[in-house]
Amino acid sequence: MSANLDPDAALMLRVREGDRSAFETLVEKYKQPVVNLVARVTGDFTEAEDIAQHVFVQVYKSAHRYEVTAKFSTWLFTIARNLSLNEIRRRSRHRADSLDETFADDDEHTIRQPADTHSAGPTETLLQGELEEKVEEAIADLPEKQRTALLMCRHEEFSYEEIARVVGCSLSATKSLIHRARETLKERLKPYLHSGAWREE
């Protein structure tokens, strides 16, 4: 085994040999990022955990198809995106809406966020909660590819090349998706961005 092998790829090689504990390690590492992505891509925080569960089951069943040359996280998030799209399509069939849906102006699909845990405490906490809600709404209003690319981009671990592979676009198209998404959010959230609410810690 190459010394330069991605640690996750090394774990997947063990999973291919039937090592379930290696798979549990991968699940523990990626369960939160996967649920976060699924919830915000589908706009359904309630079902996100079930869908994320299916993602990992699919990963396990497809372990024999995993190619070591590919970064595991790219492969994992491609599956996560595909299952999220399936869920969006399934809901669309029931409503006969378009696939490239956003979730605005629709009471049935108002973002089902986790229960508001902000108690009536300090003003800053309330403001932070309101700002987070505005960000969630703005993200939900983006077209799916922009939404997915932006969500994957918000943390450093994914390069633009990896994001391009997950959303199925060229590198330049992916950069364009991210730029457009960020421009839309900056415009939408201008009052909040300038409020200094997201101060450097």
Q: Which residue has the tokens 């990896």?
A: 162
Choice between 9 and 41, CB closer to other proteins: 41
Among 67, 107, 108, 200, binds other proteins (CB under 8 A): 200
Nearest Cα residue to 177 out of 141, 199, 150, 139: 150
Q: Smallest distance from the beta carbon of 44 to other proteins, in angstroms?
A: 10
Binding mask 120-149 for other proteins (x = CB under 8 A): --------x--xx--xx-------------
Among 13, 27, 68, 111, binds other proteins (CB under 8 A): 27
Among 43, 45, 147, 166, binds other proteins (CB under 8 A): 45
Choice between 21 and 98, CB closer to other proteins: 21
Among 10, 36, 127, 173, binds other proteins (CB under 8 A): 36
What b/e readout covers 47-83, taking b as 16+ CB neighbours within 10 angstroms? ebeebbeebbeebeeebeebeeeebbbbbbbbbbbeb
Residue 15 CA to residue 144 CA, distance in Å, equals 32
Contact partners, residue 25, CB within 8 Å, separation at least 6: 11
Binding mask 169-188 for other proteins (x = CB under 8 A): ------x--xx--x--xx--
Binding mask 85-104 for other proteins (x = CB under 8 A): --------------------
Exposure of 87 by Cβ count < 10 A (0-12 exposed, 13-18 middle, 19+ buried)? buried
Residue 39 CA to residue 140 CA, distance in Å, equals 10
